């Protein structure tokens, strides 16, 4: 599992691309796999600030995009939040592949 801090700007689209590779640096086929990820205020928080959407853009080569819409980021609290991403393989194995701080910056320009 890797740790990676991100910055989320309220009111904007957030999008990152993730490529899964094995220990030999070979792409992992994720075509039949699923992903889930959430942002929360604290690890033990019961409330969810946002849930990432995952789009496999090149499943055979391990490429997945994780994103949040402007509506989702507008609704998030500003300041440091926490997030993680879990990968569910076709065989049912669940692995946390990424976690970190989601530093959410406040929006000034609003409709």
Runs of H (alpha helix) within 1-111: 70-75
Q: Tell which residue, 34, 41, 23, 21, has the closest CA to residue 104.
A: 41
- This model's pTM is above 0.75: yes
Measured distance CA(90)–CA(34) in Å, rounded: 8
Residue 66 pLDDT grade (very low, low, confident, very high; cuts 50, 70, 90) = very high
> 41 and 81 in contact (C-beta within 8 Å)?
yes
pLDDT in tens, 6-43: 999 999 999 999 999 999 999 999 999 999 999 999 99
Question: In this structure, what DSSP letter does residue 70 have?
Answer: H
Measured in whole angstroms, the distance separating CA 79 from the mean position of its chain's CA atoms is: 17
The two tokens of residue 36 are 């889930």
């Amino acid at each position: 599992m890797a740790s990676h801090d991100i910055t989320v700007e309220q009111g904007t689209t957030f999008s990152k691309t993730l490529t899964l590779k094995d220990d030999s640096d070979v792409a992992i086929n994720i075509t039949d796999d699923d992903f889930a990820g959430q942002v929360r205020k604290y690890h033990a928080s019961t409330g969810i600030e946002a849930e990432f959407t995952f789009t496999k853009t090149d499943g055979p080569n391990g490429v997945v995009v994780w994103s949040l819409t402007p509506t989702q980021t507008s609704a998030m609290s500003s300041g440091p939040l926490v997030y993680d991403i879990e990968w569910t393989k076709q065989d049912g194995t669940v692995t946390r592949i990424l976690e970190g701080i989601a530093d959410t910056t406040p929006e000034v320009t609003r409709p």
